Amino acid sequence: MIYLHVPFCRSFCTYCGFYSELPDKGCGQGFEAYGDAVCQEAASRRDKIASTLSVNTLYIGGGTPSVLPPSVLSRIVEALPYGPYEEFTLEANPDDVTASALSLWKSLGVNRLSMGVQSFDDSLLRWMNRRHDAAGALRAFSLAREAGFGNISIDLIFGVDGFPSWEESVRRAVSLRPEHISAYQLSVEDGSALSDMVAAGRYSEAPEELCRAQYDMLCRLLGEAGYVHYEVSNFALPGYEAVHNSAYWRRVPYVGLGPAAHSFDGKRRRWNTASLTYTSEDEVLTPEDIRVETIMLGLRTARGVDYGLVAGEACDRLLAEGALVRCGGTVRIPEDRFFVSDDIIRQLI
């Protein structure tokens, strides 16, 4: 499993606190230097990469991978000679989706596109400082279909106060029939423009009841449309659950390349620093770290975790309250409690 982080964005979204650089800053040389660094890292970690290929996936995320010049993207993919991949995902901004870009991505082996649509409400997209509008997202989606992409995921954001367009956005997403939908609640991240707006009193977080109602509506509409709710924030048509991300949640080892990328080998977590001239740091996980991580990741999925991992007084109480369901040797959070999964997990660990 390989993750490649592309730390470039053409503009910064209101809510985003991720590390990312404006490509113009490096005047194109930033892309080339980035390509050199990543290819070098891929070569020096070849053995490590080979040891993680029991799940043969490549995920190029960011940032905005779709802003990479074709020559740089091609060079990096060629420096990773492990394909064809069972799943090769590329995250794309709808504005970067053109017939020629799609044809390049296809020729490189990309077989899954993840599009950051976020909303189909133009006023909300402007508030988020997204580059595209709703028409642009629809155009990008149909271009991708025309180019033969049969596995497309759409990202949406809910829980934004003052924009009553959530139901319409979900319905429009469903009408496109993407194979996968991820929906995240807006959160105030350190370092984001949104956190400055909150500090200046120009935005207040949406009330819990509104977020809950929007999440419930999402679950209902996607359930009616045949999507499987297989992780708190993720829905897929049967057979289209994300292979790469599902393996993260099972704590399968992976290698992360590029600035700010994380790697994991089962016992040790390593992360590259957030800079174009990155180095790496790591930590060895204790048995308790591993237990907590297994519970936190597993209980966010519909599969749940082994009962033995969480057995105890808190687990018995949560089972009696219906906040957990036991099925043989497994315990999971039922869908109607997914919204409060963080609280349930906190009680267990």
Which lies closer to ligand SF4 via its Cβ, residue 155 or residue 241?
155
Q: Please say which residue, 20 or 214, places its beta carbon nearer to ligand SF4.
A: 20
- Residues 5-34 within binding reach of ligand SF4 (CB under 6 A): 9, 12-13, 16, 18, 20
Cα diameter, the chain: 60
Cα separation of 227 and 4, whole Å? 28
Q: Which is nearer to ligand SF4, 186 or 333 (CB)?
A: 186
Contacts (CB under 6 A) with ligand SF4, residues 112-171: 116
Q: 115 or 236: whose CB is closer to ligand SF4?
A: 115
Nearest to ligand SF4 of 184, 307 (CB atom): 184
Cβ–Cβ < 8 Å for 246, 195: no
Which residue has 């492990």 as its token pair?
82
Q: What is the DSSP-derived secondary structure letter of residue 285?
A: P
Nearest distance from C-beta of residue 182 to ligand SF4, angstroms: 13
Smallest distance from ligand SF4 to CB 271, Å:
17
Smallest gap from Cβ 149 to ligand SF4, in A, equals 20
Contact criterion met (CB below 8 Å) for 67 and 35: no
Give the pair of three-digit tokens for residue 80: 């990773």
DSSP 287-343: HHHHHHHHHHHHTTBTT-EEHHHH-SHHHHHHHHHTSSEEETTEEE--GGGGGGHHH
Q: Among 23-31, 61-69, 160-168, 292-300, which window interacts with ligand SF4 (CB under 6 A)? A: 61-69
What residues does 113 pair with on adjacent strands? 90, 152
Give least dist CB 141 to ligand SF4, A.
17
Element (H, E) at 60: strand 57-62
Q: Which is nearer to ligand SF4, 16 or 299 (CB)?
A: 16
| SS3 state of residue 86 | coil
**How many residues are there in the chain?**
349
CB of 102 to ligand SF4, least distance (A): 19
Contact 89, 60 (CB under 8 A): yes
What is the separation of C-alpha 131 from the centre of its chain, rounded to a whole number of angstroms?
Answer: 19
- Nearest-CB residue to ligand SF4? 16
Which residues ranging from 240 to 299 are in contact with ligand SF4 (CB under 6 A)? none
Only one of the segments 57-65, 77-85, 97-105, 149-157 lies at the binding site for ligand SF4 (rule: CB under 6 A); that segment is: 57-65
Q: Is-contact 31 23, C-beta < 8 A?
A: yes
Q: How many residues bind ligand SF4 (CB under 6 A)?
A: 10
The binding site for ligand SF4 (CB under 6 A) comprises: 9, 12-13, 16, 18, 20, 62-64, 116
